[in-house]
Structure 1
């Protein structure tokens, strides 16, 4: 059927507003607005944790040495002094709190053998070749 034929069969019915339904809806909206504005605060304080639980990473494919290294770095970063994690990260390169001033001055020398040895340990621990 064409659209014109459908209109002839169905016909056009103008919207007829029901006054009681409209008043009921207006009353409901006013009540909701009043409830929102007059919300009371509980006397009991509650703690709400908005941060979702993160998944525990699977480190079973890593060597125990790399797992220990990652855990020490992450524990240090989550501590009250996050720089501990950074120094744990730099420990294989012989960088610690005592010689960090030399690094800031730009005069610290890093032994490349230590860096290459550390890189190889990471590769071995992750099973990379």
Structure 2
């Protein structure tokens, strides 16, 4: 994950998780182009598309964040996540947001502030898994 794919989002979320002492981990499917706090963030490294379902299952992730800060015209990752019927969160920009907005397991993030995102993601998780 580089700057346009949401590197700053991941590092800010990791810092907020650590500061708030939450029992939350970030599993990056792929590489992170910078040093991240390994107590909060793990990464799989490069992968082939056909490996994605197994990597997601192995990660234990239950909310998928597409952290891109660039208005992409299409996202194969978002397409794959939706095909696998996994919960997806993204920012309100570009084609991913258009798709996620109409997806029953989707969340459009209202802010790129780490604490606000974290609160939204936690509430999304609770709604999905505890019926709250």
Q: TM-score range by the shorter chain?
A: under 0.3
> Given the two structures, how large is their TM-score scaled by the length of structure 2?
0.21
> Given the two structures, how large is their TM-score scaled by the length of structure 1?
0.22
Bigger fraction of residues in helix: 1
Bigger fraction of residues in strand: 2
